[in-house]
Amino acid sequence: MIAQPLNPTENQEWLRGLKQRAAHLRVPLRGMLELTSRCNLRCVHCYLGSQDEQHARREEEMSTERVKSLIDEIIKAGCLYLTITGGDPMMRRDFREIYTYARVQGLLVTVFCDAILVTDKILELFKAYPPRMVEVSIYGATAPTYERVTRVPGSFPKALEGIRALIDHGIRVRLKTVLMELNKHEIHEMEGIAVHLGVPFRFDSAIFPCLPQGSEEAGTENDHAPLDLRVSPQEVVDIELASPERRRHWREAYGKASALPETDRLYSCGAGQTSFYVDPYANVSPCLMTSMHRHSLEGTTFRERWDNDLVKIREKKRSPDAKCAVGGMRGLCTACPGANYLETGDENHESEYSRQIAELRYNAIVNEDRVAPKGA
């Protein structure tokens, strides 16, 4: 396989300026559209919960025309980058029609999928209207491990076939995984698959409780079973920092965050400032994790929700007791207020798991004698 070059049209300096202007003017530059929560896999760690429940809600999903009208609305509001996700978005029979519409309207589209549903027609579509990127989740380097996570026999070879087909057709691909107890022993082999195919690879240890579904109100007890799959904080940091490239990434993140002035804002990310999320049932929220701040688009417009409702998240203040977002660990803690709420019931209260990982990263990066294994 031939390594895929970075897109030369994406001038980094110009993009930085664009993002800064969007943030200053509060333009919804980036959006995530979950076309369906249905998936062809049944992954043990999935934050969407039971696939039986998701399939039962199929009739509640937005119609093709409703999705198209929403695309028109977000473009009018300033959206340029759209991520189409699921579930697996290719579960929808109208995926090709919706994807084509988004591209023809000028959006730069990234697709999240498992590659198993990639067909000749999908490949033809992506050749005609290239996505910015196709990000494929891969949960193991061997069939036993991958299928222990996905719980679908025969899914591993089909995923590899789809990945190779995308690459062979010149589509930009990135592989990613979630580090968990079931696959931690194959993390280096998964990265090796990406290297062999000539595509980027990333992983993280973020496993969340299941999101509230349907009419379930934010604040109700969520299914925390996926958290049992978490790798210990020490193992997470050891795996991260075993790679010089990843160690450099965390050093840079720490350096950039440390140089920024502290803020009392609870949400200092782009949620509700330059980014948003829409679920399959026409609900909009500042991001995927902020289901407790979701609002229905029924009887209103995206613009109205963006201006009048999603903006409220920017007004929330950080508690003096919140630790990861301030002080020396800034840039090293990956907990976010939305994820905090799902796990602890309090946006300001990060989980013990996240706090321990942040402290271990801090100790490893700041204390030179503990930075890296010998020879790194």
In percent, the amount of the chain with pLDDT more than 70 equals 90
Q: What is the pLDDT of residue 222?
A: 55
Q: What is the pLDDT of residue 10?
A: 57
Helix 120-128 / helix 95-104 crossing angle, nearest 10 deg: 10
Phi then psi dihedrals of residue 228, to 5 deg: -65, -15
Q: What is the pLDDT of residue 376?
A: 43
The whole-number average pLDDT for the span 155-179 is: 98
End-to-end CA distance of the chain: 28
Mean pLDDT estimate for the chain: 90
pLDDT at 333 over 80: yes
Cβ distance 95 to 67 under 8 Å? Answer: no
Q: What is the pLDDT of residue 2?
A: 42
3-state secondary structure of 327: helix
Residue found under tokens 């396989």: 1
**What CA–CA distance (Å, rounded) separates 58 from 280?**
9
Number of C-beta neighbours around residue 181 at 10 A: 14
Task: Dig out the tokens for 271 from the structure.
Answer: 């949620």
Q: Which band of pLDDT confidence, cut at 50, 70 and 90, is reported for residue 323?
A: low
Q: What is the pLDDT of residue 326?
A: 53
Nearest C-alpha neighbor of 206 from the set 236, 185, 175 = 236
Q: What is the pLDDT of residue 324?
A: 59
**What CA–CA distance (Å, rounded) separates 41 from 152?**
6
Residue found under tokens 């930085």: 16
Q: Which band of pLDDT confidence, cut at 50, 70 and 90, is reported for residue 22?
A: very high
Cβ distance 331 to 321 under 8 Å? Answer: no
The whole-number average pLDDT for the span 316-325 is: 75
3-state secondary structure of 250: helix
| Alpha-helical segments (H) within the chain | 12-25, 51-56, 64-77, 95-104, 120-128, 143-150, 155-168, 187-197, 233-241, 244-259, 302-308, 337-344, 352-366
Which positions ≥6 away from 169 have C-beta within 8 Å? 123, 126, 127
pLDDT at 99 over 50: yes
**Which amino acid, one-letter code, is at 327?**
G
The whole-number average pLDDT for the span 242-271 is: 87
Cβ distance 282 to 333 under 8 Å? Answer: no
Task: Dig out the tokens for 130 from the structure.
Answer: 């290239």
Q: What is the pLDDT of residue 15?
A: 84
The whole-number average pLDDT for the span 184-202 is: 97
Q: Which band of pLDDT confidence, cut at 50, 70 and 90, is reported for residue 325?
A: low
In percent, the amount of the chain with pLDDT more than 90 equals 72
Lowest mean pLDDT: which of 200-204, 295-299, 314-318, 333-337?
333-337
Q: Kindly report the pTM of this predicted structure.
A: 0.90
3-state secondary structure of 317: strand
Task: Dig out the tokens for 182 from the structure.
Answer: 């079931």
**What CA–CA distance (Å, rounded) separates 340 from 21?**
29
Residue found under tokens 């969340």: 208
The whole-number average pLDDT for the span 305-325 is: 86
Lowest mean pLDDT: which of 76-80, 217-221, 309-313?
217-221
Q: What is the pLDDT of residue 3?
A: 45
200-251 pLDDT, tens digit each:
999 999 999 998 765 444 444 558 899 999 999 999 999 999 989 989 989 8
Q: Which band of pLDDT confidence, cut at 50, 70 and 90, is reported for residue 253?
A: confident
Q: What is the pLDDT of residue 213?
A: 65
29-70 pLDDT, tens digit each:
999 999 999 999 999 999 998 899 999 999 999 999 999 999
Rounded CA Rg of the chain: 20
**Partner residues linked to 83 by β-bridges:** 32, 110
Q: Sheet harboring 275-278: ordered strands across?
A: 201-204, 173-178, 133-137, 108-113, 81-85, 30-34, 275-278, 283-285, 295-296
